[in-house]
Chains A and B, each alone.
Chain A
Amino acid sequence: MAKLHVSTTINGEPAEFLCDVSQTILDVLRDQLGLTGTKEGCGSGDCGACSITLDDRLICGCLMLAAEAEGRRIETIEGMAKGDRLHALQKKFIEFAALQCGICTPGFLVASRALLAHNPDPSETEIRYWLAGNLCRCTGYDKIVRAVMEVARDMRETTR
């Protein structure tokens, strides 16, 4: 079967890969490009573990064909920290223990960052609705929601 050649941008860097039509972008990120921070949970768009952004839009990596990445811009969890400097959300998740086993965490972080880019002043209800597509079996969500609220407040204060 002929492979498709795809040119795209991942975390700000140009990237090229060969893929089969049936491969998802999640498959390619993890298995070919070594970007294993994005996790596979359900594979059907229900759990949010594979959350990434495509042209700044939050999506599930498991529901996008790798071929669709041609000419687009993808951001994954690997693009969130700047070298050793963690993103404010990452720091706050650690501080608040907003994770336990960690498999959902990259998805929650990517989804939370997308929320704050879209709405810098979300209410608790808005955060809970925005993150309804991310499942966590460990935390009970409360620590995650509180971490996002606190980061939103800090970010608003520093930009004031």
Chain B
Amino acid sequence: MVDMKYVAPSTIDEAVGAILAANGTGRILAGGTDLLVQMRLGTAKPGVIVDVKNIPEMMRIEETAGGFRIGAAVSGAIIGEHPALGKAWPGVVEAINLIGSKQIQGRASAGGNLCNASPAADSVPALVAAAATVTIQGPKGRREIPVETLHAGPGRTTLQPGEIVVGFTLPARPLGSGDAYLRLIPRTEMDIAVVGCGVSLIVANGTCTAARVGLGAVAPTVLLVEAAGKALIGSRLDDKALEAAAAACRAACKPIDDKRGTVQYRTKIAGVLLKRAAAIAAERAGAR
């Protein structure tokens, strides 16, 4: 039995200090819905558990100049109940709220979903489409990175020793913007994405002026598919533009074959979900 320690600091500096002092054996505890399962399976044997839920900055949602700063440890349930956030970024909120059951939502955080670095994480394609940035604090201070650069591979991040994800920021939404996230699962609930697709659009007078597409579960990390966004920008989101964007999504796929789906199936579905998610995002863009 490993002698495990538990600390629950009230400042980020203390949390960084505790992680650094643990010398690679420290694990951050937010909702615990990944960490506790890994501990039970024996795949995680932390020397120090650093519970960050007593750190106010990591537990709140702030509105900042039209955008939002969301603490890394805020639960999915709290995110889902925030009225302004759900209005501005419905796709991001629905992606986060698709993770697990109500019981999981009561604890699991978007920051944890990010740091768990699953290629199939539901929140991540929506955050990539949203051009979210991640705030990281470590022994050398704070830095801010685009969300799509956080992941290095399945279960691996680009965080340096002692660094923790403090929160993430969603930009302000101009009039005519909309986002959506769709995933394919064989069941209706409680499953892991075969493919996940997030789309964020800005539409002015019927023409798409900005578009970003995030694709999940089709590569070792969630992808920002820039070519798909480019195919939509300047178009009226007509069938030809949607097919070009879908083709760009299919071309970006480097999926694995597994029990959830074959390479061929995942690749095809990536294009299908792009079209459906873009249609929902466009409808939402028209509504605001």
Interface residues of A (CB under 8 A from B): 1, 4, 20-22, 24, 43-46, 48, 51, 54, 57-60, 62-65, 67-68, 70, 111, 114-115, 129-130, 132-134
Contacts and interface: CB of A to CB of B under 8 A. Distances in A.
A155 B6 CA distance: 43
Contact of B103 (A24, A67, A133): A133
Contact of B29 (A45, A62, A65, A70): A65
A106 to B, nearest CB: 13
Nearest to A71: B54
B258 interface: no
Nearest to B32: A63
B41 to A, nearest CB: 8
27 contacts: A1-B4, A21-B5, A21-B6, A21-B49, A22-B4, A43-B40, A44-B40, A45-B33, A57-B106, A58-B102, A58-B106, A59-B103, A59-B107, A60-B33, A60-B103, A60-B107, A63-B33, A63-B37, A64-B107, A65-B36, A67-B6, A67-B8, A68-B29, A68-B53, A133-B101, A133-B102, A133-B104
A133 B4 contact: no
Given A59-B106, A132-B189, A133-B101, A4 B36 contact: no
A65 B33 contact: no
A66 to B, nearest CB: 10
B103 A111 contact: yes
B103 A4 contact: no
A111 B36 CA distance: 21
Given A22-B39, A62-B36, 16 more contacts: A45-B36, A45-B101, A45-B103, A48-B103, A54-B106, A54-B107, A59-B106, A60-B103, A63-B31, A63-B32, A63-B104, A64-B36, A65-B51, A68-B32, A70-B8, A133-B102
A64 B39 CA distance: 12
Contacts of B102: 58, 111, 114-115, 130, 132-133
A159 to B, nearest CB: 22
A132 B36 CA distance: 21
Contact of A44 (B37, B51, B190): B37
B44 to A, nearest CB: 11
A157 B195 CA distance: 44
A59 B104 CA distance: 6
Secondary structure of the A side of the interface?
mixed
Nearest to A1: B3
A54 B40 CA distance: 21
B192 to A, nearest CB: 12
B104 A68 contact: no
Nearest to B3: A1
Nearest to B107: A59
A58 B77 CA distance: 10
A65 B189 contact: no
Contacts of A62: 36
Given A43-B40, A64-B36, A133-B190, A57 B104 contact: no
Interface in B23-77: 29, 31-33, 36-37, 39-41, 49, 51, 53, 75, 77
Given A58-B102, A58-B103, A132-B189, A64 B6 contact: no
Given A22-B4, A64-B107, A70-B8, A132 B101 contact: yes
A57 B75 contact: yes
Contacts of B287: none
Contacts of A132: 101-102, 188-190
